[in-house]
Every structure is written in structure tokens, then in C-alpha cells.
Amino acid sequence: MARWAPNTRERLRTAALSLFEERGYSATTVPDIVDRAGVTRRTFFRHFSDKREVFFDGDEIPQIATRMISEAPREARPMEIVMGGLRVLARERFEPQRAEIRFARQVIASEPALRERDLRKQADLRDAIRDGFRHRGEDESTAAAIAGITVEALQAALEAWASEPSGIPLTDHLDEVLQRMRMLLQTV
């Protein structure tokens, strides 16, 4: 097995996702993944803490959100910042990986341990957005509301996008979800 092979992390992810699709998540073991990827167990654990982490690769999105909020113009309204950030994430991060994300969402939905981890990642994103808006001067309640709306909108749009086969862009799903939220809030 090659000790310092290029693109090891991506090879491990590809091997794991392929095995999850062939055998199912529960029936796939770390030794299966490393055998398929042609690396050692030690190499796997340098990149991932466990096989769940294959689906939750790093904590980049909360960091991206923090950066986008802090770099937004001071005069920008919170929902302008949110929608701009979500659109960038949709185009640059999610759209290029649609098939992989679609499959991952299906597996996550079927595995309680993965759903739990997914909820933790959503909470991390919610915290990052709330803190970012608090640093911009929003009060705690407003910052928490912005964060909650953002995460729920993203999750609803991702679920719709991942479950429909027509190829409608994620940005269109985001617009639709936010429009529905606006309509619902107007009826209160």
C-alpha cells in the first residue's frame, strides 16, 4: 500500500461511498474502506475519526458562514447576507457534488447515528451564524432568529433538491423555501 499517495482523503471518501452504495452503511467497515482505497487503517484515521465522518467532511461550512457574515458590507441587511451566502454555497459547494450529496442524504436519513451527527452539524452552523450576526451588532434574539431561519431554509432546500430528479438548481429551491417562509410569516 502506498504510504503517501496523492488525493488520499478523496480516495477514501470515494471508496466509502461506493461501498455504502453496494453493501449499505451498516455492513461496511473501516477495513473494507481502506482495502478498497488501497491505504492503511492508520491512514484512514488520519483523515476521518470514524466512518460517519465520511459524510460530514470537516466543519468548513460554519467557518465559511462566519467569514461571509464578517466580510459583508456594513449596510447589508441580514437576509441579504444570508441569501447571498446561501447562493454562493449552493453554486460552489453543493451543485458540483449533486449526485454524491443526494446519495449521502438518503443514507443519513436511514441511519439514526448519522441523523444525530447531521443535527449536530446543523447546530454548529446555527451557532456560527448567530455569533456572526451578534458580532455585527444584532441583539441575541434577532441573531438567533436569523440563524434559525437560515439553517431551516438551507435544510428544506437541500432536502427538496436532493430528492427531486429534474435537476432544478439548489438556488431555485432556496428561493422557493424563502418565499414560502415569507408567506407563512405574513399570515401570522
Residue 27 CB neighbours (<10 A): 10
Yes or no: say if 80 and 133 are a contact pair by the CB < 8 Å rule.
no
Q: Which of the four CATH numbers 3.40.718.10, 1.10.1530.10, 1.10.10.60, 3.60.40.10 does domain 8-52 have?
A: 1.10.10.60
C-alpha grid cell, residue 145: 432568529
- Taking the domains of the chain in order of start, what are their residue ranges? 8-52, 60-186
Amino acid at 50: D
pTM, entire model: 0.84
Which CATH architecture describes the domain 60-186? Orthogonal Bundle (1.10)
Give me the average pLDDT of each 10-residue run along the chain (188 residues): 69 91 92 95 92 78 93 94 93 88 87 90 96 96 96 94 88 94 86
Q: What does the alpha-carbon distance between residue 103 and residue 187 come to, in Å, rounded to a whole number?
A: 36
The 10s digit of each residue's pLDDT in 91-126 is 998 999 888 888 888 888 888 889 998 999 999 999
Going by C-alpha positions, the residue among 168, 81, 61 that lies closest to residue 122 is 61
